[in-house]
Structure 1
Amino acid sequence: MASPFIEDPIEEGAQIVRRALRRERIFLDRSNPLDFADDYLYERYRFSRPGLEYICQILEPHIGRATRRSAALTVPQSVCIAMRFFTTGSYLYTVGDAERLSKNTVCRVVHQVASALTSLMDDFIVFPGHLPAHVIKQQFYAIAGFPRVLGCIDSTLIPISAPLGEDERDYIDQYNSRSLNVQMTCDHTGIITSLDAKWPGSVHDSRVFRESTLHHRLQQGHFSGVLLGDRGYALHPFLMTPYPDPEPGPQTRYNLAHNRTRVKIENSFSLLKARFASLRCLRVAPDRACKIIAACCVLHNIATIRKERAPCFNLQPLDVVDPINLEYPTGRAVREAITSEFFT
């Protein structure tokens, strides 16, 4: 009779296999997440392998220390997890399931990477751009003959769906949805040159601009040139808006050139949201949403500068503009001078 203390060798072997399989499911895959073809990487992260390696390189000083301390994720793994969230717009647990990680881990990694990218804003988001101002003006002029343009300005609504508490009414926009009102400017290539991503959706575009650092710098004469904006902005000597009721001839030609040039910012919004689908609806608190928006803008500029493949996109429906019909006399004088000199 066999002793009850002696295990069945076959059963013992089966238990060893089952334990090994359980360990394989629990432990992280240590393979290099960048060791795939560019098409595979682009589909998931919107960057080629060299582009992802560059992002890892610039973020390593910011997230590498935490990575070494926790010994849980490498820098490439952290970057790819965050990029997967930025580009898909999926729920955190969906990204976690795909990467075999918990929702809390994904949340922590996304926050770390977004914070690191946000800390690099001053390096990648600069006004009027990374080229000399006179080159930017020349390139804008080549589009439709509008002179002295340093950039195009507009705001876009980024929906958010996290609980907002007592301040929820502030975030209700003109479409009766909760959102952030995000102001950007761009150059002739679509690179984002300024960003203001802290305002609730109920705040008017003109106030966002009026309270911005960019407005104060332009008002103080730090730059020689003009922005192009729609009628949601006041007409300043440094911000040109269209004629509300243009007369045939020079005013109509001015408006046509203005519209053909200002479409650059609309293209930038559409491309940004096509590249980073998370911006179509952020399911996080407003403070974290602001960081994710800033992080995506930094990544958008990196992609544009490095000439990464751009996703196909259609122009997003324009937000309804609430004209403020405010024209400062100095702004009207500059607009008339431009019209008479360049569109007569």
Structure 2
Amino acid sequence: MACPFINDPVDEGAALLRTELNIRREIVFRPRIDVLAFPDSYLFERYRFTSQSITYIHNLIRPYIHFTNHSHALTSHQMLCVALRFFANGSFLYNVGDAEHLSKATVCRTVRKVCLALKRLLPIFVVFPGHKPVRAIKEEFHRIAGFPSVIGCIDGTHIPITAPSHNEADYVNRKSIHSINVQIICDAAYIISNVEAKWPGSVHDSRIFRESNLSNRLQRGEFDGLLLGDRGYPCQPSLMTPYPDPEPGPQQNFNRAHCKTRARVEMTIGLLKARFQCLRHLRVTPERACDIIVACVVLHNIATIRGEQHPAVQFEDPDDDLIHLPAIQDGRAVRDIICNNHFGV
């Protein structure tokens, strides 16, 4: 996609005058900022990472960032910091450029390069059901509310985007906002173990899961464990949803434990959006928006694994779909077994 911020508005009269008089525009090199010279509190506020983590991320992506040897060109370290600043504050590119003493065009190209480099790290940092043994993942979930055999919690979240020029109606969600509908699965430690960031906002959560590769793998029995989802998903043997009208006793106990455990994915999504304010609204094409979302997911996992400070989380209205899907027979049977064996009075 052509960068929408490359061409600065130029006074046509001044341009013609320079051409006639053969006057060259003076090149001004503005001073560059040595980011790592600032304290970690300053870095977290503006980049969401401490100096050690910035160096760690730089070492990971440096092989995938190509930069020129021109004088005064950005180094790979500087490129990472420019992108992190954009991810963290979500402002317009010219604001990021002003803060980093760079042009809008440079910021645009830099963010794109860093996004693609981080995207290549997705198979390393986003792994289902996680980097820990499955038994450890189940135990961490079980400690929350006593729900057995959980290996992940699933939910969808909408990332607002600017109305695209092609297939605009496909991206309008049920709140009449243009968005990308992103499927997130996390573990009990707020680490994202699966992400699907390619679907327009009009697509329902259940369809995203049904057509995902992970759904097929779960149905084939590749994983020993359950996902927990809200009523926007159908209850399946490998995907437990709450009882729609729980009876007093075991069913209500089941629903309470289910809700308390599934809150981990809502918290994870809240942390992701609080850490990277750019996800509040992306002013790029859908394709580039998806790349930015994936890059932020990778960075979120790195921050969580390295114990970076959590930003203040502001919970949004739940994204639960208004459509409540019925349980399939096999899923209902598994749910009843879990309910009776683990949540009986």
TM-score with structure 1 setting the length: 0.90
> Which residue identity is paired with 1:32?
D
Map residues 195-344 of structure 1 onto 2, 5 A cutoff. 195-344=195-344
Could you say if the C-alpha distance between residues 117 and 75 of structure 1 is closer, same or farther in structure 2, counting changes exceeding 3 Å?
same
Map residues 1-344 of structure 1 onto 2, 5 A cutoff. 26-30=28-32, 32-63=34-65, 65-68=66-69, 72-161=73-162, 163-344=163-344
Does the 8 A contact of 1:266 with 1:316 survive in 2?
A: no
Does the 8 A contact of 2:147 with 2:261 survive in 1?
A: yes
- Structure 2 Cα separation of the partners of residues 185 and 128 of structure 1: 9
> Which residue identity is paired with 1:40?
Y
- Structure 2 Cα separation of the partners of residues 288 and 28 of structure 1: 29
1:31 positional shift: 5.1
- Structure 2 Cα separation of the partners of residues 254 and 280 of structure 1: 34
Q: Quick one: percent identity of the two aligned structures?
A: 53
98-107 vs 225-234, which moves further? 98-107
Q: Deviations over 1:308-328 (max 9, x none)?
A: 011111222212422332211
> Which residue identity is paired with 2:111?
V
- Structure 2 Cα separation of the partners of residues 55 and 67 of structure 1: 20
Does the 8 A contact of 2:67 with 2:76 survive in 1?
A: no
1:33 positional shift: 1.9
User: SS of the counterpart of 1:34?
Assistant: helix
User: SS of the counterpart of 2:144?
Assistant: helix
1:70 positional shift: 7.8
- Structure 2 Cα separation of the partners of residues 294 and 184 of structure 1: 11
Does the 8 A contact of 1:33 with 1:76 survive in 2?
A: no
User: SS of the counterpart of 1:279?
Assistant: helix
- Structure 1 Cα separation of the partners of residues 304 and 30 of structure 2: 33
Does the 8 A contact of 1:34 with 1:76 survive in 2?
A: no
209-218 vs 312-321, which moves further? 312-321
User: SS of the counterpart of 2:196?
Assistant: strand
- Structure 2 Cα separation of the partners of residues 67 and 258 of structure 1: 53
Does the 8 A contact of 1:228 with 1:239 survive in 2?
A: yes
- Structure 2 Cα separation of the partners of residues 130 and 323 of structure 1: 34
* Runs of at least 5 residues in structure 1 that lack an aligned partner in the other structure: 1-21
Could you say if the C-alpha distance between residues 67 and 48 of structure 1 is closer, same or farther in structure 2, counting changes exceeding 3 Å?
farther
Does the 8 A contact of 1:226 with 1:239 survive in 2?
A: yes
1:68 positional shift: 4.2
- Structure 1 Cα separation of the partners of residues 217 and 204 of structure 2: 20
1:94 positional shift: 1.1
* Between structures 1 and 2, the one with greater helix share: 1
1:198 positional shift: 0.3
Does the 8 A contact of 1:114 with 1:295 survive in 2?
A: yes
1:45 positional shift: 0.2
User: SS of the counterpart of 2:131?
Assistant: coil
- Structure 1 Cα separation of the partners of residues 32 and 103 of structure 2: 16
Aligned residues: 320
User: SS of the counterpart of 1:151?
Assistant: strand
- Structure 2 Cα separation of the partners of residues 31 and 315 of structure 1: 34
